[in-house]
Amino acid sequence: MALLKGKGAMTGVNLIAKVYDNGKTKDGKSHYADVQVDARDARGPEQSNLHLKSERIQRPDGKPGFNNSAPYSVGQLEEIVKAAGPNKEPIKDKDGNAVGTLYGFKGNVMPASRGTGLVVNTKSVEASDFKVDANTLDTQFASMKAAKDAQSATKEAQTAAPEQSVEQAVEVEEPAVG
């Protein structure tokens, strides 16, 4: 899940929303959307998980997975769609069939009142600073992978560094003869 800390970190965030056509709730009053911090936003590059919500689940086949979608009322989703305007791109399955829409927009986020994660304050949405296109989702995945790899490298360097500093300290502590 994206971590937005510090003053103003949750305001004016460039976001993307993955909205699948089959994401409506049974009662039709809400629609699930996977909203993410746009990797091109200043808060994006260091995030190893850009999703506003990311909850570990167990899939029906018994394998672990993640639920990255949060419910938004039909009215809230309409506000997101309106703010995105023409800044949208079809989401296609492996056969090239459109299965949903990717929207680019900007807004304020806040902690979810129910459940976990962050949600969009749809009263604050506006046009994004960035254009979504067919490569946007690939850019999202690449950004998360690069951040994760950088964090792993930092951890490895931190675990290796104490050993080196102990050796260096031993060398420095030897008295000089002369």
Note the pLDDT of residue 165.
45
Neighbouring CB atoms inside 10 A of 84's CB total 24
CA dihedral 127, 23, 74, 84 (to 10 degrees): 10
- Contact by Cβ (8 Å): 77, 33: yes
Report the alpha-carbon distance of residue 13 to residue 111 in Å, rounded: 14
Rg, C-alpha atoms of the chain: 21
Tens of pLDDT, residue by residue, the chain (178 residues): 888 888 889 999 999 999 999 999 999 999 999 999 999 999 998 889 999 998 888 888 988 888 899 999 999 999 999 999 999 999 999 999 999 999 999 999 999 888 789 999 999 999 999 999 999 999 999 999 998 888 888 777 777 655 544 444 444 444 455 5
